[in-house]
Chains A and B, each alone.
Chain A
Amino acid sequence: MMVWASFRHYAIGFFIGSFLGVTLGVLVALFPKVEASQAWLARVLRPIPPLAWIPFAIIWFGITETAAAFIISIGIFWINYFTAMAAVQAVDKDLIEVARAFGHRTFPALLKKVILPGAAPGILSGLRAGLGQGWMTVVAAELFGIEGIGQRMMEASGLLATDVVILYMFSIALLYGISDYIFVSVQNRILAWQR
């Protein structure tokens, strides 16, 4: 039950953080003017640790699972935002020219045929990094009374019950190991063209 609860926080936070991070990262890379106008915002918000958002999460969402998912999504968001942005910026300009020379001149066509496939390896490695970052934040996200592994682990930690703490550590490691294994299998299928 408790593991399932943590997994739920994690999954929701992962999907929201990844989705927003990749989407905004791609948009900012595509429209340099947008990047210039919000670069300062990213610089201000980026270094704030997810933990610091806890009081805001409580005020905005109450002591709810949504609040926990929100905390988890923050760290994941930033990883994906920056890797997606860099991945799109690094897309080979020559390939964009090739696509244009062969009649694909509209923005949606270029996005679909060159920019997204070209940025896919970078975006996927960002998603994978977020997969690990998310589990690290589960503990922080459950500090304020939300049921889950993180909360139990903090209780055991307060009692210096190292054996119990180690048990939870292994649980998290196992969950991460499984999710990373599945992710890498999918990633290898998508990127079969590499090597």
Chain B
Amino acid sequence: MAKVIETEDLAVSFGEGADHNIIFRHLNIAIEAGEFVTLVGVSGAGKSTLLRVIADLIPAYEGSVKIDTSQDAARRRISMVFQAANLMPWRKIGDNVGLGLEGIEISEQDCRERVQSTLNLVGLGEYGDRWPYQLSGGQRQRIGIARALAVDPDILLMDEPFGALDAITRTAMQDELLRIWSETQKSVLFVTHDIEEAVYLGDRVLLLGGRPAHITNEYKIDIDRKNRRESVEFMQKVDEVKAGLVDAMALSDGAA
């Protein structure tokens, strides 16, 4: 299968001189078309930072990111869902969803249709004319996802999008995301600190640890997506990743 994201010895650092701090180094990951990859790791290992480098919001210190997707002027190749929904409060819901459509080659008519169909996809078709303050936290996060999907990206980067939600809403959103993913065939890179979430959602789980951080482990999740949460293998995989995370934490502390 074609690789849509490939990093080559990627490193990111913050600060200068004595404060120069390398967050991660020699990072090599590859994500295939249509794959759902989750990324867990020690806090401070640079999970969110990695997403931002791939989205070209932060420059790399060393190495490179190769993005290989279709080139289409009516779409964007990559889009992102943030930890907080971060909707613009002065835009109505429909205009928030259409944010990424401004500036790409798409007619006004198509733009409106794209916004409406994406709102329908996340189950909030009636909400286009409301203001963000009129929505609940879970609804806002769904709009954040709709905003990312509206540009019809090949790659969806998600930075702990359900971290701030209550357990019930979170479970519902996970299933909804999987439904959308299976309908749209996006490649997803999903950051979370919740291991069960990572194992439940991912085709593969990557573990980021050490200092400077790198990929310390990788877990292929071959469990059938139907009834995955209830299966025995699921809990075994979760335990396996948890053990890996403990090792990665020891590695990070040891190097400090």
Contact = CB atoms under 8 A, between A and B. Distances in A.
Contact of A103 (B86, B103, B132): B103
B13 interface: no
B100 to A, nearest CB: 4
Contacts of A109: 103
Contact of A98 (B82, B92, B102, B132): B82
Contact of B76 (A95, A98, A102, A113): A102
B133 A195 contact: yes
Most B-side CB within 10 Å, residue of A97, A100, A101, A103:
A101
Contacts of B131: 192-193
Given A193-B131, A194-B133, A195-B133, A102 B147 contact: yes
A70 to B, nearest CB: 35
Contacts of B90: 117-118, 120, 193
A114 interface: yes
Prevailing SS type, chain A contact patch: helix
A194 B88 CA distance: 11
A98 B88 contact: yes
Interface bin, chain A? 20 to 34
A192 B99 CA distance: 19
Given A100-B57, A103-B103, A109-B103, A114 B133 contact: no
A193 B55 CA distance: 29
Nearest to A121: B90
A99 B89 CA distance: 13
Most B-side CB within 10 Å, residue of A97, A102, A109, A194:
A102
A104 interface: yes
8 contacts: A94-B82, A98-B99, A101-B57, A103-B100, A103-B102, A193-B89, A194-B89, A195-B133
Interface string A107-124: 001000110011010000
A100 B52 CA distance: 11
B165 interface: no
A195 B134 CA distance: 9
Contacts of A98: 82, 86, 88, 99
B80 interface: yes
The list of the 10 closest CB pairs from A to B, nearest first, reads A102-B100, A117-B90, A193-B90, A101-B80, A102-B99, A98-B86, A193-B131, A94-B86, A193-B89, A103-B103
Interface in B96-148: 99-100, 102-104, 131-133, 147
Contacts of A100: 57
Interface in A26-82: none
Interface in B163-190: none
A178 B23 CA distance: 58
B79 interface: yes
Interface string B64-93: 000000000000100110101010111110
B88 A114 contact: yes
Contacts of B76: 102-103
Contact of A99 (B55, B79, B99, B104): B99
B39 interface: no
A104 B101 CA distance: 10
B151 interface: yes
A173 B81 CA distance: 51
B55 A101 contact: yes
Contact of B103 (A97, A104, A117): A104
Given A103-B76, A114-B88, A120-B90, A193 B102 contact: no
Contacts of B100: 102-103
A172 to B, nearest CB: 35
Given A97-B82, A102-B100, 8 more contacts: A98-B82, A98-B86, A101-B55, A102-B76, A103-B76, A117-B88, A117-B90, A193-B92
Nearest to A101: B80
Contacts of A113: 88, 99, 102
